[in-house]
Amino acid sequence: MTYTVVVRGKGGTARRTVKVTAPQPTAVLTLGTATVAYSGDVVHLTYSSTYATSCTLAADPALWSGANPARVSCNGSYDANIGLATAARSWTFTFTAANAAGRTATSTQTLTQTAPAVPTASLTASATTVHSTGGLVHLTYTGTNAVTCSLSSSPTFVIGANPITNCSGTYDVTVPSAYGGRTTTFTFTAANGAGQTATSTQTVVQPGQSSNWSGYIEYSSSTITSVSGTWTVPRLDCSKTPNAGASEWVGIGGAGASTGILLQTGISTDCAGGVQTNSAWWELLPAYATYFHGFTISVGDTIQATVFEGSNGSWETRVDDVTTGRSGVMVTGGGYGIMTDGSSTFPISGSANVSYSGGYSAEWIVEAYEANGSQVGLAAYGTVTFSNLTSSVSLSSLTLEDGVELVTGGTVLSWPAAPSGSSFSISYSG
C-alpha cells in the first residue's frame, strides 16, 4: 500500500510518499503420524500461520464432505478420520495462508495408509477317499494374516452349525455311510480384518454300496448301445471260501428302475468243496443265466466281454477267451453258441428267443450272484482289473463316486479302486 504524508509549517508544506509492503505470510502443517495401518485411525492435523488474513485446508483425494479446500482459521487443528482400507492408499494435505495483499504460503504433508496383509489358507485331509460305510478323516488347517477362520462341509452332516475354528489346528470328521456315491467338499476359509478372504478345499469321495455288486456303473441320459471290458480270470482262494462264487461281467441296464432291463455277459468263478471251476454265460433279466456248456476257461486266461446292438437292430453278447480263441455268443431273436476265432457263424446250442430295447446304464461288475433263489457267498477272488473299458458314451467323467462296494452287515467285502484312464481294479476284502 502507498501512503502520502503531508507536513505543513511556517515555512510551507512538505509531502512525502511512503510505500508500505505487507509481510510475507507463513504456513506450517504437521501430522500426528505419517502412516496409518489398514484398519484406520484418527490422524490429528495441526496448522498455523503468521501475517495471514485467510487460510484454507485441502485434502487430495477429498476426505470430507463440503468445500475442498475448506476455509479454516489460521491457527488450529483438524482430526481426520481414516477408515478401513483393502489396499494401500495416500492423501496429500495442503494448508494455504494468504495475506490481504493476496500473497500466499503453503505447507503440505502426505499421509499413507498401508495395505492389509493378504490372508492365506491351507487345508489338508488324511484321506481323499473312504469306503461307502464311512470313515474317519483327519483335517489339518492353517491360516495366516487372518483374524477369523471357519471350516464347513458340503453336504453338511455335522449336527448343528458347521464348526467355527481358530486359524490353525486339526479337526476329526467321521464321514457317514453313503448308499449312493457321494463327494464331500470341505472348505477352510481365512479372513483378515479388511474382510479379504482366502479359501482352501479338500474333497473326500465315497463309492455307493450294494448287497451283491462291486464295480462301476456309468449312467446316461441316452440309450447305451455298447459296453465292453477285459480282465484276467482270477485264482480264487478256495481254502478261505471253500463254497462260494464270484461273477465278473459287463452289462447294460439294471442299475435302477429308470435304467432299463439288465442284459449282461461274463464268467463265473466258483469254489465247490474247495475246488475252483470257471464257466461262461449270458443273461437277460429276469431270467437266470444261460451257460455256454463245453466252453473251457482256465485261471489266467484273458477274457473280453461285450454287449452291443447289431446293425440289424438285434442285440448281441460276446464273452471271448482271448487266450484260447473261443467265444460264447448270443444274438437276440436267434440263438447262442460257441464259436472260434476266424469264424463268422456259430453252431446253435440253444434258442435266444428274447428281445431287448437297450438301457441307460453300463456296468463292469464283480458279483456275489444268485443261484437257486439265494445269493451265494462271495468267493475270495483277490484282485480283478477291468481294462480296455468302452461304452457308446464317454467314460471321461467316470469317478470313484460312480463305484459300488459290496457290503454285507456293514462290512465291505469287495471294493473298487479309483478309475485310471480306461481301467480300474476291484479287490476282495472279506
- Residues 1-6: what's their mean pLDDT? 68
**Sheet containing 41-50, strands listed edge to edge, beginning at the edge strand earlier in sequence:** 26-31, 41-50, 75-82
Give Dmax over CA atoms of the chain in angstroms.
161
- Reference 298, options 317, 318, 282, 276; nearest CA is 276
- Mean pLDDT to the nearest integer, 177-200: 93
User: How remote is the C-alpha of 50 from its chain's centroid?
Assistant: 68
pLDDT of residue 45: 97
Span 330-359, pLDDT tens digits: 999 999 999 998 888 888 989 999 999 999
The answer on pLDDT for 394 being more than 90 is no
Please work out, in degrees rounded to the nearest 5, the angle formed at the alpha carbon of residue 187 by the alpha carbons of 185 and 193. Answer: 165
pLDDT of amino acid 1: 59
pLDDT digits (tens, 9 = 90+) for 70-113: 999 999 999 999 999 999 999 999 999 999 999 999 999 999 99
Contact by Cβ (8 Å): 22, 100: yes
Fold of the CATH domain 120-206: Immunoglobulin-like (2.60.40)
Q: Mean of the pLDDT values across residues 250-264?
A: 94
Residue 5 predicted with pLDDT over 60:
yes
**pLDDT at residue 256 in the model:** 86
Lowest-confidence pick of 274-278, 294-298, 340-344: 340-344
Identify the CATH class of 26-113: mainly beta
pLDDT for the residue 159: 52
**pLDDT over threshold 80, residue 10:** no
Q: Identify whether the C-beta of residue 170 lies closer than 8 Å to the C-beta of residue 139.
A: yes
Contact between residue 144 and residue 120 where contact means Cβ atoms under 8 Å apart:
yes
Q: How confident is the model over 281-300, as a mean pLDDT?
A: 96
Give the model confidence (pLDDT) of 21-30 as tens digits: 779 999 999 9
Query: For residue 161, what pLDDT is reported?
Result: 64
Q: Please tell me the predicted confidence (pLDDT) of residue 430.
A: 85
3-class DSSP assignment, residue 23: coil
User: What's the confidence (pLDDT) of residue 18?
Assistant: 65
pLDDT (0 to 100) of residue 396? 72
Q: Is the predicted pLDDT of residue 279 greater than 80, yes or no?
A: yes
pLDDT reported for residue 257: 77
The separation between the first and the last C-alpha atoms of the chain, rounded to the nearest angstrom, is 111
pLDDT of residue 51 exceeding 60: yes
208-428 placed in CATH 3.60.21.10: no
pLDDT tier at 160 (50, 70, 90 boundaries)? low
**Integer Cα distance of 127 and 405 in angstroms:** 18
pLDDT for the residue 375: 92
The cell numbers describing 359, all together, are 438301457
Q: Which residue in 209, 208, 207 sits closest to 129, CA to CA?
A: 207
Q: In whole angstroms, what is the distance from residue 328 CA to residue 80 CA?
A: 89
Equal CATH topology for 26-113 and 120-206: yes
Mean pLDDT of the residues in the chain: 93
Cα radius of gyration rounded to whole Å, the chain: 43
The pTM for the full model equals 0.79
The three-point CA angle 362-363-366 to 5° equals 175
Residue range 241-257: mean pLDDT, rounded: 95
| Mean pLDDT, range 421-429, rounded to an integer | 95
Tell me the residue ranges of DSSP E strands in 253-402. Answer: 263-272, 275-284, 290-291, 302-309, 315-321, 326-331, 334-340, 350-352, 359-367, 370-371, 374-375, 383-391
Delimit the domains of the chain by residue range: 26-113, 120-206, 208-428
Cα distances (Å, whole numbers) of residue 182 to 204, 405, 414: 8, 13, 18
Task: Tell me the per-residue pLDDT of 190-237, one tens digit each, with 9 for 90 and over.
Answer: 999 999 999 999 999 999 999 999 999 999 999 999 999 999 999 999
Measured between alpha carbons, how far is 98 from 114 in angstroms, rounded to an integer?
34
From CA 209, how far away is CA 227, in angstroms rounded? 22
